[in-house]
Chains A and B, each alone.
Chain A
């Protein structure tokens, strides 16, 4: 199926938005799909809100769905296998309190990876999604040195079984795309969908710039934090309960 027909199909089968309250939309729908050929808009700032109190340590729904969606096989070499998203266990040594949370590319507004990339392969879309242009990535790994979130993986071997939405190649650097292909089609990222369907609904995806979106409302009204907020990279991923 071509990109155009796929997008048309998705638009044609748009599901109704789940409305929690007047003006409050739980999930983006296919009706919000960006038309083919239209550039990403700075009017949007896509982001995630993750409530760690709803994220059990044993649940890996987000990780499993990411691997399936993006075609990330397990080579049995954890030191070199790509991980776009992983569950991190954080324990306070003083109190013993432990939380588990998924960590992926934080899609920073001021991404260090984009600053240091010599060729411009690391780039930020107008809507805030940080990506790697694999046509001009030379595999220097400077972005991996610069990212404080350890969000990127170097591709250490030839790839097979790739997904159309995520072409991959040995020798380039990769990371979470926030499922840009799904977002452009009006869907939510695979991890968020899996968390809502198979997990405990810890993850919420949406437009931080849309004051009516659930994520924007909750960020405005509830306590949230960002990992290494002190670095002032302005990540688009926010957490609760840490």
Chain B
């Protein structure tokens, strides 16, 4: 393998200042949103005793799932020995840590008692998958951190492969844990299924790579570093495979449930008559996040524009998918008396309504801003980003006319 030259981002350029400043503003806005929600209490949000996890959890779970997926590029290069991916290993690890940090920040800041984070870190109920996730998340930071170390310090190169394998296995277990948060819930019709774990792993592959692609394309465009067409095409095809895997597990998830008569009403709620949830499932998750990018990525050679647009669609579809899982799963009423018509002052038997407030969405966007901020700051101070990527000479602009908005190809100046 030829030597890869890694270079830090140049700080304090107008583009760098604009990016960091913009991200800092979003993070500050998220902090204001947190203060608003925590000071007044959660009654000022759209969440209730019916929908107890709302938009912050949608963003948090998306980011946490994407975190493990973002590490895939590094794993493909190291664990599976695919050389073309190896130069991206450092950025893959950095983004994985950044995504997890962003997701956890949102999750923690939406707790009823975020001031008790120390309690969560010191009191463990080992029967709880949530408690195991606390350990898995903490361990992920440590293992991926060590993995990055072996990539960046030649004196510990001997640990590169063991660290890579450990990180790969850990990320699989971590996403299994995240999926099992829902898989282990027997109370609700739309959860309580072993398929949740592999589904979440497939989701992580797609979401993580999509986010990784957006970051890579953004950074290479902003820094005007050469990015080979072969690398772009490779990432595109890989994303296509991951989208297909996600769609496959979604099909298994719903087909399995449809065979259970007791779950058919809940399935009908998501697939047919659930209003916003049905719309987001078919329109957002399946079409925008699945079929359209799949078609774009497999119809021919993938260029920058197609990759960027497809990755954006997968990200938006992914948010829709997590929304349907989390909010849709809670909106369908609990079945206290299956087969009976139930009503009460506590909304028993009713489909729950959830309208997210601006504060919740801003908190979620703050998680994304934290992620990108960590990447930019990290790549500014350490050599994460290759000076050039790929074998073939890049075109000035995408060669193929991808049917994406022209603006998607714009390259912001550094």
Contacts and interface: CB of A to CB of B under 8 A. Distances in A.
A83 B119 contact: no
Interface stretch (B38-46, B70-78, B230-238): B38-46
Contacts of B371: none
Contacts of B346: 78, 83, 86, 88, 150
A150 B333 CA distance: 10
Nearest to A93: B341
B356 to A, nearest CB: 14
Interface in B24-79: 38, 40-43, 48-50, 52-53
A88 B111 contact: no
A147 B41 contact: no
Contact of A91 (B117, B134, B340): B340
B342 A89 contact: yes
Contacts of A120: 123-125
A89 B336 CA distance: 11
A78 B345 contact: yes
B221 interface: no
Secondary structure at the A interface, as helix, strand, loop or mixed, is: loop
A171 B112 CA distance: 4
B169 interface: no
Report the interface size class on chain B: 35 or more
A100 B186 CA distance: 26
Interface stretch (A14-22, A30-38, A153-161, A212-220): A153-161
The 8 closest A-B pairs by CB, nearest first: A139-B112, A171-B112, A148-B187, A118-B130, A156-B43, A157-B41, A79-B48, A119-B123
Contacts of A90: 336-337, 340-342
Given A120-B125, A141-B53, A145-B188, A87 B345 contact: yes
Contacts of A112: 185-187
Interface residues of A, number: 55
Given A86-B345, A89-B342, A91-B340, A116 B128 contact: yes
B48 A80 contact: yes
Contacts, number: 170
Interface string A96-128: 000000010000000010111111110000000
A26 interface: no
A145 B341 contact: no
B49 A153 contact: yes
A97 to B, nearest CB: 10
B279 interface: no
B336 A150 contact: yes
B3 interface: no
A88 B50 contact: no
Contacts of B345: 78, 83, 86-87
11 contacts: A80-B43, A80-B49, A88-B346, A89-B344, A90-B342, A116-B130, A120-B123, A148-B334, A150-B348, A172-B113, A228-B335
B344 A140 contact: no
B127 interface: yes
A8 interface: no
B40 A157 contact: yes
A155 B112 contact: yes
B135 to A, nearest CB: 10
A139 B42 CA distance: 11
A58 interface: no
Interface of B: 38, 40-43, 48-50, 52-53, 111-114, 116-117, 119-120, 123-125, 127-131, 133-134, 181, 184-188, 330, 334-337, 339-348
Contacts of A242: 337
Nearest to A148: B187
Interface of A: 75, 77-83, 86-93, 103, 112, 114-121, 136-142, 144-150, 152-158, 170-173, 227-228, 231, 242
A79 B347 contact: yes
B120 A118 contact: yes
B334 A150 contact: yes
Contacts of A81: 49
Given A171-B112, A231-B186, A79 B49 contact: yes
A155 B367 CA distance: 25
Contact of B50 (A75, A79, A136, A170): A79
A188 to B, nearest CB: 23
A91 B347 CA distance: 15
B134 to A, nearest CB: 6
A171 B185 contact: no
A153 B52 CA distance: 9
Task: Give the one of A81, A103, A171 with max B CB within 10 A.
Answer: A171
Nearest to A172: B112
A145 B327 CA distance: 11
A121 B133 CA distance: 17
B41 A88 contact: no
Given A115-B128, A171-B111, A158 B41 contact: yes
Given A75-B43, A93-B340, A157-B41, A119 B125 contact: yes
Contacts of A136: 116, 119, 123
Contacts of A115: 127-128
A144 B52 contact: yes
B43 to A, nearest CB: 4
Contacts of B53: 141, 145
